[in-house]
């Protein structure tokens, strides 16, 4: 076991004598998809200097991260808790990498930027299907979407109640029925929700102890009335077998028909490509491209389009399925 840990540490490029995780690889084996997958890594400052954690990053939006102490003197330890929303991940073998960026300041020296990596692996087994596994709202008014939970087992689960992380997002649970057993859940965004972008969460509670709760991420972009709108208001990239990339064209329009211009566009996920039209017109376009190397697992991000002359910005939620080889 110790040999395996040492090999894993070296494979991930973490010298045991410096800031490191004694067990940087958490192999979880077979895991039922739907319930959150949780693991806590121990991080140790084995150097003679001071370590300051500057970032904890993952390419997958399915990960929630919680870090203990951010500054560690020589010999001190902290914990990094990771929670994977397996509901949004593909069935089969999965790997989730997390990069911890930090500065190491040796006694009498200057801070030096470094990184270490930890990862979780698991073979996801899907018995319960939630479609879609995540929601995205982009609207200037009220809106609603329906989630369908399907369970093909002999003793299917039932959603008993639901909760939301926002007072502006409400949830209604419909009766279950049919063969295979299916149950609908309607998620509603209130017209009174404030303008802006937020990440919310809907939690579905069940009567099955193996799946006590199902967590559905909800990305909300509430636009101010009269603002420039995007069509489609959210991008969903679905990869076909062997497809190298998926590209979607988004059109931007002002409801009053006036001309406007795009000052710039960027994405909060490295690797997702964004191009936009130039010049001033009543219609502008943005092309969003998700390449295969980004879509090693299902994920989400946001493209932010900045408008010229202080006219604000348009946020476009983007999601993708795992690329199929």
Question: In sequence order, what are the beta bridge partners of 291?
Answer: 245
Confidence of residue 114 (pLDDT cuts 50, 70, 90): very high
Q: What is the DSSP letter of 224?
A: P
Query: Alpha-carbon distance 215 to 59, whole Å?
Result: 19
Count Cα atoms within 13 angstroms, Cβ side, for 257: 0
Residue 145 lies in a domain: yes
Residue 19 lies in a domain: yes
Which residues span the domain enclosing 147? 128-222
pLDDT at 15: 46
Could you say which of 78, 110, 125 is where a domain stops? Answer: 125
pLDDT at 76: 96
Residues 239 and 177 in one domain: no
- Sequence-separated (6 or more) residues with CB below 8 Å from residue 175: 183
Q: State the CATH number of the domain containing residue 21.
A: 2.60.40.10
Q: Are 263 and 280 within 8 A, CB to CB?
A: no
Residue 325 lies in a domain: no
Residue 116 lies in a domain: yes
pLDDT over 70 for what percent of the chain? 94
pLDDT greater than 90 at residue 247: yes
**pTM above threshold 0.85:** no
pLDDT in tens, 16-59: 558 999 999 999 999 999 888 999 999 999 999 999 999 999 87
Q: Number of structural domains, the chain?
A: 3
Residues 17 and 106 in one domain: yes
Residues 119 and 173 in one domain: no
Could you say which of 125, 148, 166 is where a domain stops? Answer: 125
pLDDT at 4: 43
pLDDT at 11: 45
Q: What is the mean pLDDT of the chain?
A: 88
Could you say which of 173, 205, 222 is where a domain stops? Answer: 222
């Amino acid at each position: 076991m110790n040999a395996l840990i040492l090999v894993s540490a070296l494979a991930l490029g973490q010298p045991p004598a410096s800031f490191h995780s004694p067990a940087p690889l958490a192999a979880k084996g077979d895991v039922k998809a739907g319930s959150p997958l949780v693991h806590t890594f121990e991080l140790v400052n084995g150097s003679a200097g001071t370590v300051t954690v500057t970032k904890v990053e993952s390419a997958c939006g399915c990960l929630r991260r919680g870090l203990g102490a951010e500054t560690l003197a020589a010999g001190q330890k902290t914990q990094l808790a990771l929670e994977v929303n397996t509901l949004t991940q593909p069935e089969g073998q999965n790997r989730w990498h997390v990069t911890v960026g930090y500065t190491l300041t040796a006694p009498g020296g200057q801070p030096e930027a470094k990184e270490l990596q930890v990862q979780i692996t698991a073979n996801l087994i899907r018995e319960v299907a939630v479609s879609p596994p995540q929601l995205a709202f982009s609207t200037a008014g009220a809106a609603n979407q329906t989630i369908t939970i399907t369970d093909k087992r002999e003793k299917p689960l039932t959603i008993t109640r639901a909760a939301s992380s926002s007072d502006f997002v409400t949830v209604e649970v419909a009766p279950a029925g049919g063969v295979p057993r299916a149950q609908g859940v309607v998620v509603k965004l209130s017209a009174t929700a404030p303008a802006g972008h937020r990440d919310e969460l809907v939690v579905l509670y069940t009567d099955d102890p193996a799946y006590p709760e199902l967590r559905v991420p909800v990305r909300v972009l509430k636009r101010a009335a009269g603002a420039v709108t995007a069509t489609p208001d959210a991008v969903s990239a679905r990869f076909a077998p062997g497809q190298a990339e998926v590209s979607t064209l988004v059109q931007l329009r002002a409801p009053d028909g006036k001309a406007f211009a795009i000052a710039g566009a960027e994405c909060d996920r490295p690797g997702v490509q964004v191009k936009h039209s130039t010049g001033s017109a009543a219609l502008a376009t943005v092309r969003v491209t998700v390449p295969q190397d980004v879509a090693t697992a299902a994920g989400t991000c946001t493209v932010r389009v900045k408008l010229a002359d202080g006219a604000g910005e348009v946020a476009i939620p983007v999601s993708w399925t795992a690329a199929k080889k």
